[in-house]
Amino acid sequence: MKRLAVFTLLVCFLVLAPAWAAPEKPSDSSDGFAVYLLKDSSITGVKALEKNLADLELQAQPLFTGRDMVDYRWSDHSFSLKPEAKAKLPGGPGVSSVFGVPFVVMANGKRMYLGAFWWYGSSQSFPNPVILPPSKKDNIFRIERDYHGLSDGDNTPDPRPNPIIRAALARETKLITTAEPSEKENSHRLSVIR
């Protein structure tokens, strides 16, 4: 009887041990929209461009998801965040690198594109999408195609209007598909994010 108990414990240990030893993988992105920072915070946006998207190690938890958004306007890729999500964004003294803070957009568990948080004072160009700080007037973030118009005239496809991203956003947040928001939508955006 004692041997059976020891044998059973040994089998359980051998079966469960690989799961305990497995590295932590990004969570919360399997069925929706998520933005992740890189695990190595010393990598800038410019340095991240030198790596393959699949090789970038992501933090275990997303910076924000579609559930953290108040809404997302598809026509100009602008969005507003709930205050608790906005408070987690990179920025402030000593954090805003002129070379960008890289992020990876994921939808339905797939890496869609590399982007970076960027600052208006940077003279450094960036060919991938960037999230710029919102104006104090509207407090709405925009995912711009690039920084300093590097994609103008080239044949690089814009990764933002991907139907996989759109479907993930539509499941998790209020997706605005019209070009111009109504006055009611604008007042709702501003009231929620203040």
Does a structural domain hold residue 11? no
Among 165, 163, 144, 172, CA closest to 69: 172
Question: Is residue 74 predicted with pLDDT exceeding 90?
Answer: yes
Q: How far apart are the C-alpha atoms of 40 and 115, rounded to whole Å?
A: 15
Mean pLDDT for all residues in the chain: 79
Does a structural domain hold residue 95? yes
Q: Check residue 94 and give left, alpha or beta (phi > 0: left; psi -120 to 50: alpha).
A: left
DSSP letter assigned to residue 67: G
Biggest CA–CA distance in the chain, Å, is 76
Does a structural domain hold residue 136? yes
Q: How far apart are the C-alpha atoms of 36 and 6, rounded to whole Å?
A: 43
What is residue 155's predicted lDDT score, i.e. its pLDDT? Answer: 72
pLDDT, tens digit (0-9, with 9 covering 90-100), for 110-156: 999 999 998 877 888 899 999 988 877 777 999 999 887 665 566 78
pLDDT, tens digit (0-9, with 9 covering 90-100), for 22-45: 344 444 445 799 999 999 999 999
The band of 187, judged by pLDDT with boundaries at 50, 70 and 90, is low
Q: Percent of the chain beyond pLDDT 70?
A: 70
Q: Which residue range is the domain that position 99 belongs to?
A: 29-193
Does a structural domain hold residue 19? no
Domain count across the chain: 1
Does a structural domain hold residue 21? no
CB neighbour burial string for 39-74, b if at least 16 within 10 angstroms, e if fewer: eeeebbbbebeeeeeeebebbebbbbbbebbbbbbb
Q: How far apart are the C-alpha atoms of 14 and 37, rounded to whole Å?
A: 34
Does a structural domain hold residue 115? yes
Does a structural domain hold residue 20? no
What is residue 1's predicted lDDT score, i.e. its pLDDT? Answer: 55
